[in-house]
Homo-oligomer: A and B are copies of this chain.
Amino acid sequence: MCAHTLINSFSIKIKFVVKTKKTTIQDIANYVNVSVGTVDRVIHNRGHVSTAKRKKIMEAIEILDFNPNFLASTLALGKQYRICSLLPRPSSTQGYWTLPKDGIEQTAADYKDYGITHHSFDYDPFEESSYSKKTLAVLEMQPDGVILAPLFEEESILFIKKLEEKKIPYIFIDAFIPNQKNLCYIGPDLKGSGYVAGKLMSSILNSQDDILILNLVKGLENSHLGIIEKGFREFFDSTNNKGSRKIKSITIPSIKKEDITIELTKYHIKNPGTKGVFVTNSRASLIAHYHFLHELPVKMIGFDMLQDNILEMKNGNIDFLISQRPYFQGAMAVKTLFHYFVYKKIPPKIQYVPLDIIIDQNLDYYINFKEPGTANLVQE
């Protein structure tokens, strides 16, 4: 048996010898003169193989560079993995939460042939009871893995407990609860995003310009805005970046135009030195519009590439947006679960996404950016 029959190969013009096909378990079996069953047993550590042959087979695997064909493997196994996601209901068809959701759904669709099925659940981000109800619905599905954005901490911990009882792995995206047994967290480093905002703000203001940190919170919304503010302030405290400026923060517990107008007007009259406003969530567009209407030359930094923010940025009313790859967070969560299911691969506990800095001039590249072949390609 010569090398040519062992390793399928052919040569092109003398120079190259190209291995065209992957080696299969059959190749290994032929090489060692055993049956594919024995090779299979070695590969999967199923035992029932004499040490002598075991050794020979393992050598052959090395020599012939065998890697199992993943396609054939999943096909033969025919396992099914059910993923459930539990995210806040988007405020509109273009709301922030559509993006992680799309990321999850499209990626799940991409992995359909690998046995991944996915079921979306959403909850009213202003109603804890809605959340609790949906957690039960998720559990009823008996998922193999869960992706969730835990806005409500208490209820989430109850939910998590139940998942742990049933040994269902779960991934936090966008936000997380510390000290839990989550498979991992995929999302922004909140403090870091405050730092980034701080740096950007300081780079476009003069050292004496005052800054307003604005928390626009409807109802009892998420507490993690505090961390962003902390990061923002820390940037100015840490180095000698503070200058002589004042940095104040206010919280407006509403996202209604009228409420905002009243509060902001009050503030700006009292603090005429304010030249920069940092909105700690994705609602910068509301403020930007206010500044535009009142012709206030104020620099603005906010979060997320939402339609409204994009518009205000193009109009020159927002200077920087920080984006945390919401689509990708969802996509990555699905991929991570998949690799966990299939390869038992444990991901890093914390996977911070890049904090993309968006300005008018690079905005379009982010908007038009599409990966090739995300789903919908299956039809001919």
Residues of A within 8 A of B (CB): 12-13, 15-16, 18-22, 67-72, 74-75, 78, 80, 82, 112-114, 117, 140-142, 189, 192, 195-196, 198-200, 203-204, 235, 319, 332, 335-336, 338-339, 343, 345, 347, 351-357, 359-362, 365-366, 368-373, 377-380
Contact = CB atoms under 8 A, between A and B. Distances in A.
Contacts of A359: 196, 199-200, 357
Contacts of A352: 365, 368-369
Given A18-B141, A345-B377, A354-B362, 7 more contacts: A12-B141, A68-B378, A71-B114, A196-B361, A203-B319, A204-B204, A335-B371
Nearest to A19: B117
A328 to B, nearest CB: 9
A68 B74 CA distance: 15
A196 to B, nearest CB: 5
Contact of A372 (B192, B347, B369): B347
A64 to B, nearest CB: 15
A369 B356 contact: no
A360 B378 CA distance: 42
Contacts of A343: 373, 377, 380
Nearest to A334: B372
- Pick from A15, A204, A353, A359 the residue with the most CB of B within 10 Å: A359
Contact of A142 (B12, B21, B72, B200): B12
Contacts of A18: 82, 117, 141
Contacts of A373: 335, 338-339, 343, 345
B13 A140 contact: yes
A256 B80 CA distance: 59
A348 to B, nearest CB: 8
Given A357-B357, A372-B336, A67 B379 contact: yes
25 contacts: A15-B140, A16-B140, A18-B82, A18-B117, A22-B112, A68-B378, A70-B113, A192-B361, A192-B365, A195-B361, A196-B359, A196-B361, A203-B319, A332-B372, A335-B373, A338-B373, A343-B377, A345-B372, A345-B373, A352-B369, A354-B362, A354-B365, A354-B366, A354-B369, A356-B362
Contacts of A15: 140
A68 to B, nearest CB: 7
A261 B336 CA distance: 49
Nearest to A198: B361
B71 A361 contact: no
A347 B338 CA distance: 27
Contacts of A347: 372
A217 to B, nearest CB: 25
Nearest to A357: B357
A189 B355 contact: no
A306 B103 CA distance: 30
Given A335-B372, A377-B339, A377-B345, A357 B362 contact: yes
A336 B374 CA distance: 11
Contacts of A21: 78, 80
A199 B235 CA distance: 23
A106 to B, nearest CB: 14
A174 to B, nearest CB: 15
B192 A362 contact: yes
Contacts of A204: 203-204
